[in-house]
Amino acid sequence: MSTFLVLFYNYTFYKNVFEIYPINAENFAFLISSFIFIAALTSLVFTLFSSRYTTKGILIVVVLVSSLTAYFMNTYQVVIDASMIRNMLQTDMHESLDLLTIKEAAYFIVLGLIPAFVIYKTKIDYRSVKTELLAKLKMIVGVIVLLLSIVYIFMTHYTSFLSEHKPLRYSTNPTYWIYSIGKYIELSATAGEIIVEPIGLDAKIDVNETQQRKLVIMVVGEAARADHFSLNGYKNETNPLLKQENIINFSNMYSCGTSTAHSVPCMFSVYDRNDFTYKKGITTQSVLDVIKTTNEVSILWRDNNSDSKGVALRVPFEDYKGHLNTIRIDGEQRDIGMLVGLDEYIKKQEGKDILIVLHQMGNHGPAYYKRYAKDFETFTPVCETSQLEQCSKEEINNAYDNAILYTDYFLTEVISLLKEHNSDYKTAMIYMSDHGESLGENGIYLHGLPYFMAPDAQKHIGALMWFSPKMREEFDIDALASREAKAYSQDNLFHTLLGIFKVQTEVYQSDKDMLLE
């Protein structure tokens, strides 16, 4: 089984290995040793957990999961690490259906169901417990000696492999996904009882009764990479409406992570990217909680994505993915539906500032062609399948760009809504994507790679702001505009949101407030 898995489930691993260690006289023996090493290591794992009652069950589960792992690694070049395990567990059924393809089914049948059936039907003759334990011990010792011998003989190669090419091991199948599940379980188990630590309990806003209240809409984008915004010089005109608005476009904005499950809680967190962890995210209040503490701001989170990833647990939340008011076009729900009823909500919040967060479906892949109405299919031909590898680069980019074009329309509609309330409020819109997206560059698709090895396309995100004339009078927006090419990140959002509402609290850092820098 170990040899079978190495032979048929590790195409991505060896494809990456051959790029660094090409097949030649110098590397040939090392490459053969790597095959033996991985097969032996896999065999060691199986031996440790095999028994009369577990062997078949373990092997069947491994081939079923490994078949799907092989599909996603071979097709999208994704890495199945602990973070990706969390992403999968937090992905809803609607998102999962977009990933189902005939090719995936073929992988599951050929590399999953058929081997599983063979394993199930294979007769295993078990000997006495004493004999089996002795055989297991001999196997474990033998494999360890073999592994150590291989490393000793090819010490130079393996030192280079582990120190300089660490990402290579992320694509070993099944050893790395087994390790990742163990890591995820460890992180979850050590999290202990989830007790949310309050922050900013001193938060307050000095309210002047004659002062005009504020209405801010924060739009959390989805998978919108900066280099596909025409505002940033992209060849396709993906922002024809926004360029007519008096916006400030931040061309050098970077995300906190490469997945929604990480970036969304991180961007609303008091922690910087380097300090943020999943555990800190679920055990520390967000900027929404701090603003809520003032009792001067009405907060609403509307979601057309999977969910708020824990950010909106303590503020009013509305799921617009399945909401009756969501506008449907061609059978697909659109982000524009989140604007339905907002006017009535705003009118009911008399005497308070208002913060509304809209979490987009945006450019959620791989079914980019489903993210916009046909009226927005400006760039053609488009990729109309989730099997992106079957489409040309032009078709994938066109489908993705049409989705950006739809976001351009959506954000302009948000601005139009805000303009309708300019007489009663000082208004502003903040747009920031959660992460970027790979569109096939170097064979990589979608997002979610570990941050240190992720391409710029997964981290460099679209971000912009719009301010009403009265809001511009309160802040030095011209100075902010002069800094729009400055390097910013989602670390700035926490303090910028506090700053725009003039929240006074010890957790606020003015040097990270984009409005004041």
**pLDDT tens sequence across 466-495:** 999 999 999 999 999 999 999 999 999 999
Contact call for residues 348 and 420 (beta carbons, < 8 A):
no
Q: Provide the whole-model pTM.
A: 0.84
- In sequence order, the 6+-apart residues with CB closer than 8 A to the CB of 166 are none
CB atoms within 10 A of CB 398: 22
Q: How would DSSP label each residue in 234-302?
A: -SS---TTGGGS-EEE-TTEE-S-SSHHHHHHHHTSSS-TTT--HHHHHHB--HHHHHHHTSSEEEEEE
Listed as ranges, residues in the chain with pLDDT below 70 are 92-96, 163, 189-193, 209-210, 322-333
DSSP code, position 459: T
Q: Is 490 helix (H, G, I), strand (E, B) or coil?
A: helix
State the burial class of residue 423 (Cβ atoms within 10 Å of its Cβ: 0-12, 13-18, 19+): exposed
At residue 329, the pLDDT reads 60
At residue 158, the pLDDT reads 84
Exposure letters 112-148 (e unless 16+ CB within 10 A, then b) = beebbeebeeeeeeeeeeeeeeeeeeebeeebeebee
At residue 195, the pLDDT reads 83
At residue 215, the pLDDT reads 98
| CA 26/CA 32 separation, integer angstroms | 12
DSSP code, position 113: I
Q: H-helix or E-strand containing 50?
A: none
CA nearest 285: which of 498, 429, 92, 513?
Answer: 498
Q: Is 231 helix (H, G, I), strand (E, B) or coil?
A: helix
